[in-house]
């Protein structure tokens, strides 16, 4: 059975000579991921590593890994994606990941009108919900102002859109 890995960011550079790594991450639950002794999985092969330390610096999440004390030892991870296992996040019933929204049925004004196709990043800091509504691909800002309710058990997302949006 394949593990359920969740993308949390990308290693974009090193910092200093002692093996500290710079990650770019916009992950929603950073407070549960970037912790000492937390397992993370790096690259396509999901190589298991353990976080030694974490700090925030400018726009970066900075980590060191257990057992690595030199820049040359961590260069192999440069430009690699970083993942955690979904199970390790311990999400509550009211919490969800962006990937959980894909394939949910969209409810507008108490009617099922379409399906979520993807959550996409646009620009530096914005995301949109790519939806199929009335056989048309529509982009809806991924923002709490437009999401009224998410019900994963019933596979629905209830949206509240402004007039003229679709």
Query: Range(s) for CATH 2.30.30.240 in the chain?
Result: 98-159
Count other Cβ atoms within 10 Å, centred on residue 75: 11
The tokens for 32 are: 């549960």
Indicate the pTM of the whole model: 0.86
In this structure, the strands spanning 5-15 and 81-85 are antiparallel
Beta carbons within 8 Å of 42's beta carbon, 6+ residues apart? 11, 49, 77, 80, 81, 82, 83
Count other Cβ atoms within 10 Å, centred on residue 114: 20
Give the CATH number of domain 98-159.
2.30.30.240
- The class level of CATH for 5-89 reads mainly beta
**pLDDT recorded at residue 46:** 97
**For each of the chain's 166 residues, which pLDDT tens digit applies?**
346 999 999 999 999 999 999 999 999 999 999 999 999 999 999 999 999 999 999 999 999 999 999 999 999 999 999 999 999 999 998 899 999 999 999 999 999 999 999 999 998 789 999 999 988 999 999 998 999 999 999 999 999 988 877 7
Which stretches within the chain are classed as H helix? 30-33, 71-74, 98-101
Query: Range(s) for CATH 2.40.30.60 in the chain?
Result: 5-89
């Amino acid at each position: 059975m394949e593990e359920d890995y969740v993308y949390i960011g990308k290693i974009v550079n090193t910092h200093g000579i002692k093996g500290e790594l710079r990650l770019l991450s916009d992950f929603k639950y950073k407070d549960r991921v970037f912790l000492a002794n937390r397992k993370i999985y790096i690259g396509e092969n999901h190589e298991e590593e353990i976080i030694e330390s974490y700090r925030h610096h400018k726009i970066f999440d900075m980590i060191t890994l257990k057992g690595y004390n030199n820049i040359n030892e961590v260069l192999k991870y440069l430009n690699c994606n970083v993942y955690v296992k979904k199970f390790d996040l311990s999400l509550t019933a009211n919490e969800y990941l962006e990937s959980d929204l894909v394939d949910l049925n969209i409810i507008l004004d108490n009617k099922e009108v379409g399906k979520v196709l993807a959550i996409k990043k646009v620009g530096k800091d914005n995301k949109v919900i790519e939806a199929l509504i009335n056989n048309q691909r529509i982009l809806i800002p991924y923002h709490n102002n437009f999401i009224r309710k998410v019900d994963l058990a019933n596979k629905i997302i209830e949206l509240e859109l402004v007039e003229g949006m679709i």
